[in-house]
Amino acid sequence: MTFAETAAPTQPGADSDAPGTADGGPGRARTATRQGRADLLRYVARRIAIGLVLVVGTTLIAFLLTQLVPGDPAAANLGQQAINDPAAVAAFREQHGLDRSLPEQYVIYLGNLLQGDLGISQQSHRAVSTDLAEYVPATAELAFFAIVVSLLLGVTFGVVAALTRDRWPDQLLRVASLAGVSAPTFWVALIAFYVFFFKLGWSPGGGRLDPGQAAPQHLTGLYTVDALVHGQWSLFRSALGHIVLPGLVLAIYTVGMLLRFTRASVLEVVGSDYVRAARAKGLPERTVIARHILRPALVGIITVAGVAFGSLLSGTVLVENIFGWPGIGQYAFRSATNLDLPSIMGVSLVVATFYIAINIVVDVSYGVIDPRLRLS
């Protein structure tokens, strides 16, 4: 029996695992907190180190893939026009050390990457890094909108499905979520654009703003945020209006994914003794759901949210082009259709780095939520 139970045996709301009140008193609790903080820091450092190793690994994959290209790498990287210019070819060979051994070439490649050199895009004839810097904020805004919508809808519907298990809302949501993860995103985007813009006129159409509107003053590059910060309401409404349809289309897959997972996680705990105990002691249903059911399910939900973010980034490649959304997805689409290898590799590296960073954040956040995981 814990201190809390002996001290207040008749108090119905007393949690047996109340923090900091264990047998040793406040001194020991402080030591335990310090120990916990040290564990957390070590855990965070380890996750970041693993993430950095993975980032280096992704550069190795990108490098090896460029080696796979049949024919002359200078031709593949510079395009047919530039290959007729011997000076450009010579400069490329020199810069990438093409006459040296493969490991040496990789070191040179890494050195170039560290200086932000991802090569020259064959479509825009600009540095890939310059292109990416221009397009990343648009995709970030879209992906952020989609992940927030996915979490809100996915978790809410997942809880509803689990609590109405085997009844009609559950069956309906199950079919809907399976349809969500089964629909090809590029096709849903096309149909949604056709119906809501072309036929019904509900959506303002492609792009990030109405035609003729100037972008808000650059702060974050996210138009909704920048417009809000500068108090430009009409611009904010326009930016939000443009993001809704592509954002919802992107979210269809991830809502399905999060819904299915939340349902399974909630089902795992909903029949457990402590949930029945919480109900038996008369806690309101809202408290039981929020504190006793959702909290233990949260670790899993956060993990899946990390994976969902990866799906969103994949989805942008297939969705942005249809909505004329000027992000890295559209850039990747154009690069793929034009076989612009430096741009494709640039997008892959940047997206993989983002994805790894998101996964580090996910790992760290469940280290915070569940202290047991810090030790594993």
What is the DSSP secondary structure assignment for residue 284, as one 8-state letter? -
Beta carbons of 362 and 317 less than 8 angstroms apart: no
Beta carbons of 230 and 128 less than 8 angstroms apart: no
Q: Which of 151, 248, 332, 360 binds other proteins (CB under 8 A)?
A: 332
Q: Which of 176, 186, 225, 324 binds other proteins (CB under 8 A)?
A: 186
CB of 289 to other proteins, least distance (A): 16
In whole angstroms, give the CA distance from residue 29 to residue 12: 24
Residues 60-89 that bind other proteins (CB under 8 A): 60-62, 65-66, 68-70
Helix axes 341-369, 328-337, angle to 10 degrees: 140
CB of 368 to other proteins, least distance (A): 23
82/189 with CB nearer other proteins: 189
**Residue 307 burial (CB count, 10 A):** 17
Cα 47 to chain centroid distance, Å, stands at 17
List residues bridging with 74 in a β-sheet.
none
Residue at 354: amino acid letter: F
CB of 66 to other proteins, least distance (A): 7
Q: Which of 29, 348, 361, 364 binds other proteins (CB under 8 A)?
A: 348
144/186 with CB nearer other proteins: 186
Binding segment (CB under 8 A) for other proteins, from list 93-101, 128-136, 265-273, 362-370 = 265-273
In whole angstroms, give the CA distance from residue 309 to residue 139: 12
Asked if residue 3 binds other proteins (CB under 8 A), the reply is no
239/312 with CB nearer other proteins: 312
- CA atoms within 13 Å, Cβ hemisphere of 265: 26
Size of the site for other proteins (CB under 8 A): 61
Binding segment (CB under 8 A) for other proteins, from list 88-96, 149-157, 179-187, 285-293 = 179-187
Asked if residue 271 binds other proteins (CB under 8 A), the reply is yes
Alpha helices in the chain (DSSP H): 3-7, 25-68, 73-83, 86-96, 102-114, 128-163, 168-182, 185-193, 223-229, 233-270, 273-280, 285-287, 295-319, 328-337, 341-369
Q: Which of 52, 152, 280, 369 binds other proteins (CB under 8 A)?
A: 280
Cα–Cα nearest to 190, from 199, 178, 177, 181: 199
CB of 230 to other proteins, least distance (A): 33
Residues 149-168 that bind other proteins (CB under 8 A): 165-166
Binding residues (CB under 8 A) for other proteins: these are 54-55, 57-58, 60-62, 65-66, 68-70, 165-166, 174-175, 178-179, 181-188, 190-191, 193-194, 198, 260, 264, 267-268, 270-272, 280, 310-311, 313-314, 317-318, 322, 332-333, 335-337, 339, 341, 344-345, 347-348, 351-352, 355-356
